[in-house]
Amino acid sequence: MESETRNADQITSKRRDIWLKCTEFGGIYNNLLNKAAMDQFEKTTPTRKAFPYMKPWLKLKDTPKWKEQTEGTSQSSGSKRLRNPDGTSQQSDDRTHIDINDDPKDLENDQPLRRPVGRNKAKKAVSTSSNSSVMDMFDDKFDRYVQLQEMKAEVMTRMEQNMIEAQTSFQEAQETLQTKTDMEILKMKADDLEGEDLELFQAMKESVRARRRRRG
């Protein structure tokens, strides 16, 4: 059998009822303890109904907060003897009594009920947590993007450097080959050449000499 679900008003009402009855019972209990050491025993008539919250009372009576309240009550309670002008004594009862008709809110000032979290506040907390998670995820992705861009720039720089080095090496090799070819042309002799062949050979040698002069 499923337990009945209680709303906040029902729980508050039950709590007030337990608080009132335990407080009233505590006053009677302390009075009886104090009167055990008095010369004259003054009988206190409690309610005729059975006390319904014995288990909560047994837990409450030894707690520091409850003892502080009941000890303060016991110090100001009990019978006090007052001396009349005629020499006779009378007893005055300064015990603190609890009226069950009093507003229970006065008894709960030191133990206010915790207000439940409002719907808007709960939604705001969830929204804030969600926004924080989204921002963390965005920051993580942005950091990864920056790292990739840095790696890409580093690779491009390295490729450009390699390309420049390759071009330089190619040019040097080409110049070396050209120089070798030029030197071979200049060393050639035209003893067997005549006519147009001789003119072409001499023009080629002159072109080689002009190119070498431009190089310095």
| 78 touches 34 (CB < 8 A) | yes
- pLDDT at site 159: 92
Model confidence, pTM? 0.29
What does the pLDDT look like over 155-180, one tens digit per residue? 999 999 999 999 999 989 988 888 88
pLDDT < 70: residue spans in the chain: 1-4, 6, 33, 35-50, 65-131, 216
Q: Which residues pair with 115 in a beta bridge?
A: none
- pLDDT at site 112: 53
Give dist(CA 153, CA 212) in Å, integer: 41
Q: Which two tokens stand for residue 216?
A: 């310095």
Give the residue carrying structure tokens 């009945």: 4
Give the residue carrying structure tokens 């080409």: 174
- pLDDT at site 43: 46
Q: Which two tokens stand for residue 90?
A: 């009378």
Q: Which two tokens stand for residue 159?
A: 């490729």
- pLDDT at site 118: 60
